[in-house]
């Protein structure tokens, strides 16, 4: 029997005419076949409804044609199928029998309650589960309606045409289920109602369990625990569901439906309060540190609340054919989202990304010079950063001159970079290329106010100030590191009659920085590392706040006995203000040293191309080669390469940080695109603003926004 069905399926798929395909498919319908064969037949029918192409024209009544109007192709195919079944009662009886049997023999609660819901209790379990489900689809012989549903509707577009089904078509589909029902066969309406109630009971228990857990309960507020427990909607939710079930049984026994409506409305009210409570949990996480696992659990609870509301709507509107189609469309949409790895990452990391971005935005505000005083301060900070980089360049040449193993050399170079960056951090100096990843979220945050002309003006002012500040930072770094490195080389040669590097190494250094080589590619990858360090810095700040490390240090018994209560508090405040900067600088330094060595060993050749470090290296090389090097083309190619580093280091790290900031705030490209014209108008109208602050620009106020 199974082989014959497979043969018919192959013939049906080989048919070119859609009407002939349907005829062949309907001939195959057998309500007495095995469960797996009936499931496969229904899946093939769903694929026929969804596939592109035309169907054989059939004469229809004028009222049906008017009702069809501009229907979707799926609706047209459904109408055609129902017309064919009306002309063939035997086929129609088999199709109706298959539909009723599958609904009767399958677990419907799995579809109503579990479909589209994460079944794992942690984020990474859900992530691996989605990878596994993408490789191994569910088998059609499982007596699980959710599995059949997944195999029938494989595209998110299915939710659109299901939700748009017209009333007359929904009525005809419902009539198909009731066609040729035996007197002894139970009615499906009662069974579906029981499944809906059971699924609601299951969901409310799960919502209540998660809401009363310590993870959620501790983030609902700071009130007394016993009082809060009695007032929490999660505590009352299960009782409300039991009251709804009792009222439903009373209605079935002949009581008036008024009590049922009252209990259902109370249940709706509690579900609304539960949703508000989940928003409060997200707000608490946003203020006090984000945990991906907690976000996963709360997000899953919010999905269950939404599903419970959809089931409740469908249950109370059982006589409305559109209620069933809306529920089916929602199940298709949720089921498709539950199989998407991108959706899981986006829904669970969005809050963490926003938290990291907000840290960067708060830090980046200090790196935007909006008036002349701040502009001159930025030049001084950049000059200090360039001075520290002189030592970094000399130590780097000493490490490379030792000709150590690549990994050892990369580790020592990373320690050298990290020590230099930490020194800049504590001396409040500035390294130009570290700023874009911090300032981009500040610019993105100002997009929230671009709905008004004043907001657009503030945004344009901030962008111009950012460009001006970046130019000042790069200029301050390069204009100090280059001449000082040149002077150090000349002084070293005058004192010790030797050079920091050999002439061959100097030529190789200039050649390696050439614009004609891989320098632009290396500079872009270096920009990625610069952006990555800002992410790690934001994560460290979030981790410090989430685990309340500052409070642990403040009240640590040994620290209070050693430093005193005030000393422990000062240490906690110092760690709180510097943990992100220290972690970010150490991470950046180690990445700049180790990532090139690792990639060169296992993937492809990669060298760090950082504008400040490279400018200092050119200064040392020029001091070794002397003034005759000014006539060498490789020197000017290297200068052009350093210029490309300045652009790409800044542009890549800024673009990545800005893109992440925009995505974390749920902004669209259409919201950002019109602002480009305003920026270009400002640049053409007042080009000097890009290099020197003409007037003071007030800093925009950004109140805390928690969504």
- DSSP assignment of 385-414, as one string? HHHHHHHHHHHHHHHHHT---HHHHHHHHH
Render pLDDT for 607-627 as a digit per residue (tens, 0 to 9): 999 999 999 999 999 999 998
Please tell me the predicted confidence (pLDDT) of residue 279: 85
Please tell me the predicted confidence (pLDDT) of residue 389: 95
618 close to 639: Cβ distance less than 8 angstroms: yes
Residue 130 lies in a domain: no
Render pLDDT for 43-55 as a digit per residue (tens, 0 to 9): 999 888 887 655 5
For the beta carbon of residue 244, count every other beta carbon within 10 angstroms: 24
How confident is residue 540, by pLDDT bands cut at 50, 70 and 90? confident
Tell me which DSSP letter residue 187 carries.
P
And the tokens for 403? Answer: 């000709």
How confident is residue 375, by pLDDT bands cut at 50, 70 and 90? confident
Render pLDDT for 556-565 as a digit per residue (tens, 0 to 9): 999 999 999 9
**What is the three-class DSSP state of 107?**
strand
pLDDT at residue 704 greater than cutoff 50: no
Domain boundary among 170, 185, 200: 185
Work out the angle at residue 334's Cα, subtended by the Cα atoms of residues 333 and 337, and round it to the nearest 5 degrees: 90
Render pLDDT for 221-269 as a digit per residue (tens, 0 to 9): 654 444 467 778 998 999 999 999 999 888 888 888 888 899 999 999 9
User: How far is the C-alpha of 564 from the C-alpha of 308, rounded, in Å?
Assistant: 54
User: How far is the C-alpha of 350 from the C-alpha of 298, rounded, in Å?
Assistant: 13
How confident is residue 350, by pLDDT bands cut at 50, 70 and 90? low
List for the chain the helix, strand, coil content (%; round to 5): 80, 0, 20
Render pLDDT for 652-696 as a digit per residue (tens, 0 to 9): 888 887 777 776 666 666 666 777 778 888 888 888 777 778 655
372 close to 363: Cβ distance less than 8 angstroms: no
Residue 339 lies in a domain: no
**What is the three-class DSSP state of 178?**
coil
pLDDT at residue 300 greater than cutoff 90: no
642 close to 520: Cβ distance less than 8 angstroms: no
- CA-CA distances (angstroms) from residue 571 to 419, 548, 564, 568, 576? 21, 14, 10, 5, 9
Please tell me the predicted confidence (pLDDT) of residue 706: 34
Residue 135 lies in a domain: no
Q: Which position has the token pair 């009306």?
A: 86
DSSP lists the bridge partners of residue 144 as: 107
187 phi/psi in degrees, rounded to 5: -75, 140
User: How far is the C-alpha of 92 from the C-alpha of 177, rounded, in Å?
Assistant: 10
- CA-CA distances (angstroms) from residue 683 to 443, 674, 679? 17, 15, 6
Domain boundary among 163, 185, 207: 185
Helix or strand holding residue 194 (H, E) = helix 188-211
Please tell me the predicted confidence (pLDDT) of residue 552: 93
Domain with 630 in it: what CATH number?
1.20.1080
113-120 average pLDDT score: 74
144 phi/psi in degrees, rounded to 5: -135, 115
For helices 145-152 and 35-50, the axis angle rounded to 10 degrees is 30
496-523 average pLDDT score: 93
pLDDT at residue 362 greater than cutoff 70: no
How confident is residue 555, by pLDDT bands cut at 50, 70 and 90? very high
Q: Which position has the token pair 């379990």?
A: 125
Please tell me the predicted confidence (pLDDT) of residue 320: 83
Q: Which residues contact 524 (CB under 8 A, 6 or more apart)?
A: 648, 652
Q: Which residues contact 91 (CB under 8 A, 6 or more apart)?
A: 26, 27, 29, 84, 85
Domain boundary among 135, 166, 185: 185
User: How far is the C-alpha of 430 from the C-alpha of 371, rounded, in Å?
Assistant: 18
Residue 62 lies in a domain: yes
**What is the three-class DSSP state of 695?**
coil
Tell me which DSSP letter residue 706 carries.
-
Please tell me the predicted confidence (pLDDT) of residue 1: 45
Please tell me the predicted confidence (pLDDT) of residue 669: 65
Q: What is the dihedral of CA 290, 294, 297, 302, to 10 degrees?
A: -40
425 close to 582: Cβ distance less than 8 angstroms: yes
Please tell me the predicted confidence (pLDDT) of residue 124: 64
Higher per-residue pLDDT: 87 or 65: 87
527-542 average pLDDT score: 86
DSSP lists the bridge partners of residue 107 as: 144
Q: Which domain holds residue 26?
A: 1-105+153-185
635 close to 622: Cβ distance less than 8 angstroms: yes
pLDDT at residue 374 greater than cutoff 70: yes
Closest CA to 532 of 477, 473, 589, 597: 589
And the tokens for 147? Answer: 């599995």
107 phi/psi in degrees, rounded to 5: -80, 100
User: How far is the C-alpha of 251 from the C-alpha of 372, rounded, in Å?
Assistant: 77
Residue 250 lies in a domain: no
Q: What is the DSSP string of 285-338?
A: HHHH---HHHHHHHHHHHHHHHHHHHHHHHHHTTT-HHHHHHHHHHHHHHHHHH
Higher per-residue pLDDT: 132 or 503: 503
How confident is residue 103, by pLDDT bands cut at 50, 70 and 90? confident
Higher per-residue pLDDT: 587 or 364: 587
430-434 average pLDDT score: 79
Please tell me the predicted confidence (pLDDT) of residue 598: 94
User: How far is the C-alpha of 682 from the C-alpha of 676, rounded, in Å?
Assistant: 10
Check the CA dihedral 331-335-338-343 and report its sign. negative
Q: Which residues contact 75 (CB under 8 A, 6 or more apart)?
A: 68, 161, 164, 165, 166, 169
Q: Which residues contact 93 (CB under 8 A, 6 or more apart)?
A: 31, 179, 180
228 close to 221: Cβ distance less than 8 angstroms: yes
How confident is residue 67, by pLDDT bands cut at 50, 70 and 90? very low
Higher per-residue pLDDT: 345 or 62: 345
For the beta carbon of residue 141, count every other beta carbon within 10 angstroms: 13
Residue 140 lies in a domain: no
Which region holds residue 606: left if phi is over 0, alpha if psi is between -120 and 50, else beta? beta
Please tell me the predicted confidence (pLDDT) of residue 441: 66
Q: What is the dihedral of CA 656, 659, 663, 668, to 10 degrees?
A: -160
Residue 575 lies in a domain: yes
Max Cα-Cα span within the chain: 110
User: How far is the C-alpha of 349 from the C-alpha of 688, rounded, in Å?
Assistant: 41
141 close to 35: Cβ distance less than 8 angstroms: yes
HEC-encoded secondary structure of 159-174 = HHHHHCCCHHHHHHHH
Work out the angle at residue 181's Cα, subtended by the Cα atoms of residues 177 and 182, and round it to the nearest 5 degrees: 155
User: How far is the C-alpha of 229 from the C-alpha of 232, rounded, in Å?
Assistant: 5
589-605 average pLDDT score: 92
Closest CA to 78 of 101, 55, 103, 44: 55
User: How far is the C-alpha of 689 from the C-alpha of 468, rounded, in Å?
Assistant: 7
Render pLDDT for 600-612 as a digit per residue (tens, 0 to 9): 989 889 999 999 9
The average confidence (pLDDT) of the chain is 82
- Provide the number of structural domains found in the chain: 2
Render pLDDT for 320-344 as a digit per residue (tens, 0 to 9): 888 888 888 888 888 877 777 766 6
pLDDT at residue 14 greater than cutoff 70: no
**What is the three-class DSSP state of 707?**
coil
**What is the three-class DSSP state of 529?**
helix
163 close to 321: Cβ distance less than 8 angstroms: no
Please tell me the predicted confidence (pLDDT) of residue 693: 80
- CA-CA distances (angstroms) from residue 472 to 62, 178, 288, 467? 75, 78, 35, 9
Residue 354 lies in a domain: no
Please tell me the predicted confidence (pLDDT) of residue 64: 42
């Amino acid at each position: 029997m199974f082989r014959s069905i497979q043969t018919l399926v192959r013939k049906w798929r080989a048919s070119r005419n859609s009407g002939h395909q349907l005829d062949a498919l309907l001939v195959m319908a057998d309500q007495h076949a095995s469960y797996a064969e009936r499931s496969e037949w229904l899946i093939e029918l769903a694929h026929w409804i969804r596939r592109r192409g035309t169907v054989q024209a059939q004469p229809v009544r004028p009222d049906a044609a008017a009702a069809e109007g501009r229907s979707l192709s799926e609706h047209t195919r459904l109408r055609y199928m129902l017309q064919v079944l009306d002309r063939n009662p035997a086929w129609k009886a088999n199709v109706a029998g298959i539909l009723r049997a599958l609904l009767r023999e399958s677990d419907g609660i799995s579809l109503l309650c579990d479909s589209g819901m994460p079944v794992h209790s942690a984020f990474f379990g859900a992530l691996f589960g989605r990878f596994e489900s993408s490789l191994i689809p569910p088998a059609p012989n499982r007596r699980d309606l959710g599995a059949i549903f997944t195999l029938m509707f494989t595209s998110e577009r299915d939710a659109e045409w299901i939700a748009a089904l017209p009333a007359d078509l929904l009525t005809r589909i419902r009539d198909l289920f009731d066609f040729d029902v035996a007197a002894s066969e139970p009615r499906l309406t009662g069974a579906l109602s029981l499944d809906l109630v059971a699924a609601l009971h299951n969901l409310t228990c799960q919502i209540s369990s998660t809401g009363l857990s310590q993870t959620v309960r501790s983030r609902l507020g700071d009130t007394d625990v016993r009082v809060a427990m009695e007032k929490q909607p999660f505590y009352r939710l299960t009782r409300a569901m039991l009251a709804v079930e009792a009222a439903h049984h009373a209605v079935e026994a002949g009581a008036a439906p008024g009590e049922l409506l009252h209990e259902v409305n109370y249940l709706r009210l509690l579900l609304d309060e539960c949703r508000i409570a989940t928003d409060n949990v997200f707000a608490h996480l946003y203020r006090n540190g984000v945990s991906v696992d907690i976000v996963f659990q709360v997000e899953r609870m919010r999905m269950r609340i939404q599903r419970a509301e959809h089931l409740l709507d469908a249950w109370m509107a059982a006589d409305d054919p559109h209620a069933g189609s809306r529920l089916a469309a929602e199940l298709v949409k949720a089921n498709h989202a539950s199989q998407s790895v991108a959706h899981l990452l986006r829904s669970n990391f969005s809050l963490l990304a926003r938290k990291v971005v907000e840290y960067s935005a708060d830090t980046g505000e200090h790196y935007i010079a909006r008036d002349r005083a701040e502009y001159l301060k930025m030049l001084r900070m950049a000059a200090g950063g360039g001075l520290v980089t002189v030592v970094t360049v000399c130590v780097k040449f000493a490490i490379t001159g030792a000709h150590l193993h690549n990994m050892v050399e990369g580790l020592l170079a990373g320690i050298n970079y990290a020590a230099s960056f930490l020194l800049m951090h504590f001396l409040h100096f500035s390294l130009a290329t570290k700023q874009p990843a911090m300032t981009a979220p500040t610019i993105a945050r100002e997009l929230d106010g671009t709905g008004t002309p004043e907001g657009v003006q503030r945004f344009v002012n901030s962008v111009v100030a950012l460009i001006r500040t970046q130019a000042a930072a790069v200029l301050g770094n390069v204009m100090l590191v280059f001449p000082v490195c040149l002077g150090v080389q000349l002084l070293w040669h005058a004192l010790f009659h030797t050079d920091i590097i050999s002439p061959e190494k100097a030529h190789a250094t200039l050649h390696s920085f050439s614009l004609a080589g891989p320098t632009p590619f290396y500079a872009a990858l270096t920009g990625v590392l610069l952006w990555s360090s800002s992410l790690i810095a934001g994560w460290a700040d979030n981790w410090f706040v989430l685990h309340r490390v500052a409070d642990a240090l403040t009240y640590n018994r040994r620290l209070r006995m050693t430093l005193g209560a005030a000393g422990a508090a000062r240490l906690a405040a110092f760690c709180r203000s510097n943990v992100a900067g220290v972690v970010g600088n150490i991470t950046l330094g180690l990445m700049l040293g180790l990532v090139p060595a690792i990639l060169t060993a296992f993937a492809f050749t990669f060298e760090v191309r950082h504008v400040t470090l490279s400018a200092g290296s050119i200064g040392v090389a020029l001091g070794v080669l002397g003034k005759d090097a000014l006539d060498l083309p490789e020197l000017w190619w290297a200068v052009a390469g350093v210029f490309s580093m300045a652009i790409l280091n800044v542009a890549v790290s800024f673009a990545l940080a800005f893109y992440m900031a925009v995505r974390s705030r749920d902004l669209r490209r259409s919201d950002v695109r019109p602002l480009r014209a305003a920026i270009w108008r400002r640049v053409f109208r007042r080009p000097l603003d890009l290099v020197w602050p003409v007037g003071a620009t007030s800093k925009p106020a950004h109140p805390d926004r928690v969504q």
